[in-house]
Structure 1
Amino acid sequence: MDIYAVSTHPVVVGDKLSFHLHPARAQDLIECTINWQQDNKPRSAQYMAFKAINKTAEDGGATPPFIVPVFVQKDPHYAQLIASATPGPDGTLEFPITEDWQYGQRFETGAGRFVVFHDNSNEPGQDRFMDTPFTQLLTLLHGAASIAGQAETADKVDAIARAQFNRPLLSYSVLPTVRNGDILRVNAQAAARSTVVVTWLQESSRRTEKYYQVMATNISLNNQQVKFFVQEDWWGVNLLNIAVNQGNNHFDFMVNGQFQYGQANDSGTDRWVVYHDRARQPYQHRFVPSIIFNLVEMFSHMPPLSDILAINATNPEVVTDLAAVLFGRPLLTFD
């Protein structure tokens, strides 16, 4: 399946997808075998893979149509899907995305999202269905390590990394910690905050700025706790000016396009928020450490691998700067 002919519009619950039961191109509806490890045992299952059009996004004026890769376990889920689908124009079938589906995505913005309908006791990772930046990173590092004569070590690390850190499929029934439109409550007392120094490379210059970090309460979502970073000189007037409500020791504000966020996984279950001048461009890992960057740093310090990657291993800043250019995740904006 062409992984580049995918939608920039994230497929969400309620979206209606359409596909041809007998497509003109055979490769647009194929049967494939998905293999994975589960409970230290090899597992496999047959899936039907096809391309669908997101009719909900199309109805919103999308041009060209948003294409969504779909994977459905052959037995019995594919027959169930066909039986419950609604006939559409030109011999197509239409079906809605419900919380029974799972999904994966190539980018945390939701771009390149694909959907999976199967027995939820199956636990293949996202990379079993489509290539991801994580698997691309592992392939690159494994190849460099092998060239540097570290193939045996690279094999072991690669196996551990894929087993421990590969991204699982995500559930539509799980909500992010904070979403656009949510109300966050922040303790206004100085004792509730700590100072974080954030350093990053921007336009070939190293920048260092201070942020306040506090724990905010998402009163829109079961009072979940959310890490909240505020540009130091914006803590006072700037933050108060956007507050929708003020109490004696707290203020509330609505999450919107003025705020950015990062997250350790695509489900958003540990999403955190940044309020700052958006001309600043630090990567997510500058606020919260990332597994993928820990992996890069570990590989980059393996001599003579550091020479192969042209890294000066005596300067940690060179390592993190190179990793950021190749694999850094920018902060995302609520919309």
Structure 2
Amino acid sequence: MSSPVQSGHEILVPLFDGDSAGAPVHVNWQQNLSQRKADYYALTADNITTGEQVPFFIAAEYYKSTTTANPNHITKVGQLVAGEGYKLKVDDRLQYGQKNAQGELRFIIYHDKERKPYQHRFIETAVGSATAGKAAQMAKAFGVGNVGNQIMDNFKGFIGDYLHTF
């Protein structure tokens, strides 16, 4: 089992490329008795500290090239590594989800923390809306061998848990 990303680690978020990032995934949830939704990009970031990869979800408005005026945009909070991406220190700006208290299948989310979706909303949405190639990439990032029921079986531990802040 890979070691979960921790506060203080450094990660490398890939440069925005509309072709390789694919279409954003639509995450829906209920908060304060109203339906909410937001678009996220499901990526794989490099954990520079450990040399491993980690699933990373970033709010579309913090990532797209057309939204760089946003004060929380990745270009404003990350350190540019030319030709590769943006280096971020894992801190309380980021949230995470995981399968259990041991940090199994931990993934990172960078978004407005006023949003309160359950962890499983990211998993279901990313896997369910992915193309075959992207689904295989997400399955690998979440540490499962093949796509399908096995993925959702692995994530039953996420049901009903809110995201955690580093």
TM-score (norm: length of structure 1) = 0.36
The alpha-carbon distance between structure 1 residues 292 and 177, as it changes in their structure 2 partners (threshold 3 A), is: closer
Which of 37, 45, 51 is the equivalent residue of 1:216? 45
Q: Secondary structure at the match of 1:198?
A: strand
* 2:161 is the counterpart of 1:332: no
User: Could you say which residue in structure 2 is the equivalent of 1:193?
Assistant: 21
Mapped to 2, the partners of 1:283 and 1:176 lie a distance apart of 23
1:55-94 correspondence runs (5 A)? none
Mapped to 1, the partners of 2:47 and 2:37 lie a distance apart of 29
The alpha-carbon distance between structure 1 residues 213 and 281, as it changes in their structure 2 partners (threshold 3 A), is: same
Mapped to 2, the partners of 1:232 and 1:291 lie a distance apart of 26
* 2:94 is the counterpart of 1:265: no
Q: Secondary structure at the match of 2:105?
A: coil
**1:61-84: CA deviation from partner (whole Å, max 9, x where unpaired):** xxxxxxxxxxxxxxxxxxxxxxxx
| RMSD over aligned Cα atoms | 1.9
Q: CA deviation at 1:274?
A: 0.3
% identical equivalent positions:
32
Q: CA deviation at 1:176?
A: 3.6
Mapped to 1, the partners of 2:106 and 2:79 lie a distance apart of 22
Mapped to 2, the partners of 1:206 and 1:275 lie a distance apart of 20
Amino acid corresponding to residue 53 of structure 2 in structure 1: Q
User: Could you say which residue in structure 2 is the equivalent of 1:202?
Assistant: 31
* 2:45 is the counterpart of 1:184: no
TM-score (norm: length of structure 2) = 0.70
Q: CA deviation at 1:281?
A: 0.5
The alpha-carbon distance between structure 1 residues 176 and 242, as it changes in their structure 2 partners (threshold 3 A), is: same
* 2:89 is the counterpart of 1:254: yes
Q: Is the 8 A contact 2:16 2:63 kept in 1?
A: no
User: Could you say which residue in structure 2 is the equivalent of 1:242?
Assistant: 77
- Is there any run of 5+ residues in structure 1 with no aligned partner, and where? 1-173, 294-326
Q: How many residues align?
A: 127
**1:250-283: CA deviation from partner (whole Å, max 9, x where unpaired):** 2211110000000122221321000001110000
User: Could you say which residue in structure 1 is the equivalent of 2:156?
Assistant: 291
- Is there any run of 5+ residues in structure 2 with no aligned partner, and where? 125-154
Q: Which runs of 4+ in 1 moved over 2 A?
A: 174-177
Q: Secondary structure at the match of 2:4?
A: coil
Q: CA deviation at 1:175?
A: 6.9
Which fold has the larger relative contact order, with Cα–Cα distance below 8 Å and residues 6 or more apart in sequence?
Answer: 2
